[in-house]
Structure formats: C-alpha cells, structure tokens
C-alpha cells in the first residue's frame, strides 16, 4: 500500500483468512493502528454487530473510497 492507512478508514481483504473465518473482499473498518504499522480491523454485519477483529498488515488490505467527482454526478467506488 503506497500510503499509510488511517483510523476509521474502510478497507477490504485482499486474501482469505480461514483462521479468522474471513474471505477475500470482506469489508471492515480500521479501529487501531500500532507502531509496527499493523492495523486492527473490525468486521461487522449489516446491523453493526462485530463478528470478527483481526490484526493485519496494510499489504493485506485494500483502502476503499468514494470518488464524488465522477461523471453524471454519480458516486463510484474506487480503490
């Protein structure tokens, strides 16, 4: 990842994490950042209930962001 992740950023997993019961593409939120550069990521269901917490390297994550300047006024998801 070119730039450091920030607290409360939305991220997606780049690879399956079978031990944690998580699959590639699952979306989470960065809830802590450690001196080592690793991040604590919370994964929650549609009701906001946490179903997993994982400490991950930034290279295991894809930052998600909304580009509000796309054509036709639409909001599109960009990586």
pLDDT band at residue 75, thresholds of 50, 70 and 90? low
Which position has the token pair 């990842």?
1
pLDDT at residue number 66: 77
pLDDT value of position 1:
41
The CATH number linked to 25 is 2.30.30
Q: pTM here?
A: 0.79
Is the Cβ–Cβ distance between 12 and 64 less than 8 Å? yes
Please indicate, yes or no, if residue 1 is contained in any of the structural domains.
Answer: no
Q: Which two tokens stand for residue 59?
A: 């290279």
Q: How many domains does the chain have?
A: 1
54 forms bridges with which residues in the sheet? Answer: 41
Distance (Å, whole) CA 16 – CA 22: 6
Which helix (DSSP H) or strand (DSSP E) does residue 63 occupy?
Answer: strand 61-63
User: What are 15-72's pLDDT values in tens digits?
Assistant: 999 999 999 999 999 999 999 999 999 999 999 999 999 999 999 999 998 766 655 5
Query: Looking at the domain assignment, is residue 2 inside a domain?
Result: no
Quick one: tokens of 5? 């992740």
Range of the domain at 66: 10-78
């Amino acid at each position: 990842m070119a730039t450091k992740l920030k607290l409360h950023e939305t991220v997606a997993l780049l690879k399956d994490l079978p031990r944690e019961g998580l699959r590639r593409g699952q979306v989470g939120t960065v809830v802590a950042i450690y001196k080592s550069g690793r991040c604590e990521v919370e994964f929650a269901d549609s009701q906001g209930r946490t179903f997993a917490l994982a400490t991950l390297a930034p290279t295991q994550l894809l930052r998600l962001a909304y580009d509000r300047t796309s054509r036709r006024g639409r909001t599109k998801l960009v990586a």
